[in-house]
Structure 1
Amino acid sequence: MKITNETKVGALTCISIAILFIGYSFLKGNNVFSSENTFYTEYDNVEGLAVSKPVLVSGFQIGRVSNLTLQPNGKIKTEFKIKEDYAIPSNSVARIVSADLLGSKAIVFELGNSTSMARNGDPLLSDVQANLLEKVEPLQKKIENLVVKLDSVLSGVNSVLDANFQRDFKSSVHSISISLKNLEKITGDVDGLMGQERSKLTNILSNLESITTNFKNNDQKINSILTNLDQMSDQLAKTQIKETIDNANQAMMDVKSITDKINKGEGSIGLLLNDEQLYNNLNNASQNLDQLIFDLKNNPGKYLKISIFGKKDTK
């Protein structure tokens, strides 16, 4: 049977149309040779995402983006074609991630832990991963602010580091150098002195070691002596303190008795302190005695008769 050219052309045309359809469907994310489930979600921004972009789970492709549709509310409805072999939990998250440094995007499914699986046509949760530029931009602003502050600080430092400051700083460094030299000299002198007195220090340390050894060897005797001294001092302190307190109490009682007698007018001191008449008499007697002594000094002849020739004096 001979095939005509028209039949060949028709068959070739049908094959070409079929290949074109399959290729177009593949580019749109549709696989005509396998059954797939369709899921969708909505994003506020799908920059870098396009139809036929892969849908990945842990880096493994399980499907493709099949359609992008702008909704009346401004969001973009994104549909995914997932191979029927893979079960997707209903609480899975479809996250837009950066596929490369050029800004290309892909979809990564973060599988949830729900026991119920999403069915064909069910919506999924959505999320967008911040791209590298969005992460770098805040850091860039911080760096710019830091550079501005650093420039201000450097300007302030330059204004402080004037000629006078540099001269004073050099003078300070020179003074520090001189001080270090003097300290080095003092250290050398001390080292020399220690070398000269090394033998004496060795003897002193040897004596101290001998003394401490003796103390260590006679530790029990020293403790016994100190215990005896402690007991003796305690007994002596107790005896003397008791005797002193008794004597002080007796003395206070005697003083109190004397004071009571004086207050009552008993005894000479009590009479002198409490008998006003006796005090007045003594005061008058003292005045009369003063007058008598004064008169005796001024008129001794009034009281003494002296005869030069032995004549008997008359009254």
Structure 2
Amino acid sequence: MSKELKTGIIALLIIALGVWGYNFMKRQDLFSPNSRHFYVEYDNINGLNEASVVTINGLQVGKVDAINFNPKLDKRGSLLVRLSLEDDFQFSKASIAKIYSAGLMGGQNLAIIPNYEGEMAVSGDYLKGEIESDLFSSVGEKLNPIQAKLENVLVEADSLLIGLNQVLDKKARESLNRSVIGIENTVSSLNNTMVSFNDILESNKEKISVTFDNTKKITDDFSKVSGDLAKSDLGATVKKLESTLSNVNNLIKGIESGKGTVGKLMSDEQLYTNLTNATKEMEELLREMKLNPKRFVHFSLFGKKPKPYNEDKNNENVSNE
């Protein structure tokens, strides 16, 4: 064998090994001619690259072969991902190819979520693409609305401060400062008042204690009186009082209607007049007996007669002798 032939064979082997090594580094198996190829369209591949792993239910079944821009004019700017599957696992065209994060430092992989309804997918078909939000993307998606709201709040706060500065001129700011100083003085005075009040309480602690003791004693006595009242039969007493008042009312009604002696005395005018006249005559009789006793008790050996009754002298309380 000539040196030229040996050199040619060695060169071919080196080229073959180079091609195999290059494809091995890209995780492409040259000895699997029966692998299937599928295409997925994405607006953003989120860091997916060639030779990324393709899995079904967590099992590695293939890899990403190529990522290129979509040549179709109506989908300009979108990305077309070509993936190859070395497994003959069957799924329908309705299956989803989802890009997911393999970990914090593991990059992006592609998972096929199989669907078994409808027509089965064959090599060269297009699958529907989706992107699963990773931790940082989820945080970013949640923080973006908050950031927008925070920016709006800052803008409104800035506008408010500008308007406040425009409203509060120098005199207004000085007045506001004086008001704040007045509030501070008021708080200081209140603190001094509280200190004085505490001193008063401290100096009169014994008197206050005695006052509370007396109050407690009064309260206890009142409780005792209340207990005695509760134990006493107030209902029966009230009933007796009502009965007595009823009898008194009946008695007063009888007197007013002229029943009984008292009633007749109060209602019969003739009887009242007779009693008045009798009383008057009795008074005159007693006065006459006092002024002229000889007219009623007379002892005379010579038969001298007493002087007759004189009404005028009797009224003047003068003797008739």
Instruction: Name the TM tier (shorter chain).
Output: 0.5 to 0.7
Q: Which residue in the other structure is 2:185 paired with? A: 178
Amino acid at match of 2:237: M
Contact map agreement 2:42 2:130 (CA 8 A) in 1: no
Q: Which residue in the other structure is 2:65 paired with? A: 66
Amino acid at match of 2:178: S
**Distance apart, 1:209 and its partner CA:** 3.0
- What is the TM-score with the length of structure 1 in the denominator? 0.54
Deviation track 1:64-102 (CA, whole Å, cap 9, x = no partner) reads 2124573646365533123439x576565322357899x
Q: Which residue in the other structure is 2:54 paired with? A: 55
**Distance apart, 1:236 and its partner CA:** 4.0
Deviation track 1:174-203 (CA, whole Å, cap 9, x = no partner) reads 322332343334334433443454333222
Amino acid at match of 1:232: T
Amino acid at match of 1:207: N
Say if 2:139 is the partner of 1:126. no
Say if 2:159 is the partner of 1:152. yes
Pairing 1:85-104 to 2, within 5 Å after superposition: 93-96=96-99
Q: Which residue in the other structure is 1:43 paired with? A: 41
**Distance apart, 1:167 and its partner CA:** 1.4
**Distance apart, 1:215 and its partner CA:** 6.0
Q: What SS does the corresponding residue of 2:43 show, helix, strand or coil?
A: coil
Amino acid at match of 1:149: E
| Counterparts of 2:163 and 2:239, CA distance in 1 | 76
In structure 2, do the counterparts of structure 1 residues 150 and 207 end up closer, same or farther at CA, with 3 Å as the change threshold?
A: closer
Q: What is the identity percentage for the equivalent residue pairs of Structure 1 and Structure 2?
A: 23
**Distance apart, 1:37 and its partner CA:** 4.0
Contact map agreement 2:95 2:114 (CA 8 A) in 1: yes
Pairing 1:1-315 to 2, within 5 Å after superposition: 3-23=1-21, 25-26=23-24, 30-33=28-31, 37-46=35-44, 49-55=48-54, 62-68=61-67, 70=70, 72=72, 74=75, 77-84=80-87, 93-96=96-99, 106-109=108-111, 111=113, 121=123, 124-129=127-132, 135=141, 142=149, 144-213=151-220, 221-225=228-232, 228-233=233-238, 236=241
In structure 2, do the counterparts of structure 1 residues 199 and 82 end up closer, same or farther at CA, with 3 Å as the change threshold?
A: same
| Counterparts of 1:242 and 1:29, CA distance in 2 | 124
**Distance apart, 1:107 and its partner CA:** 3.6
In structure 2, do the counterparts of structure 1 residues 124 and 237 end up closer, same or farther at CA, with 3 Å as the change threshold?
A: farther
- What is the TM-score with the length of structure 2 in the denominator? 0.54
Contact map agreement 1:89 1:112 (CA 8 A) in 2: yes
Identify the range of structure 1 (64-73 vs 174-183) with the bigger mean alpha-carbon deviation: 64-73
In structure 2, do the counterparts of structure 1 residues 55 and 186 end up closer, same or farther at CA, with 3 Å as the change threshold?
A: same
Q: What SS does the corresponding residue of 2:7 show, helix, strand or coil?
A: helix
Total equivalences in the alignment: 241
**Distance apart, 1:60 and its partner CA:** 8.1
In structure 2, do the counterparts of structure 1 residues 242 and 9 end up closer, same or farther at CA, with 3 Å as the change threshold?
A: farther
Q: What SS does the corresponding residue of 1:31 show, helix, strand or coil?
A: coil
| Counterparts of 2:38 and 2:246, CA distance in 1 | 106
Q: What SS does the corresponding residue of 2:85 show, helix, strand or coil?
A: strand
**Distance apart, 1:15 and its partner CA:** 1.0
In structure 2, do the counterparts of structure 1 residues 189 and 30 end up closer, same or farther at CA, with 3 Å as the change threshold?
A: closer
Deviation track 1:111-139 (CA, whole Å, cap 9, x = no partner) reads 458699x7763654311356959847766
> Structure 2: 5+ residue runs without aligned partners?
257-321
Contact map agreement 2:100 2:111 (CA 8 A) in 1: no
Contact map agreement 1:94 1:124 (CA 8 A) in 2: yes
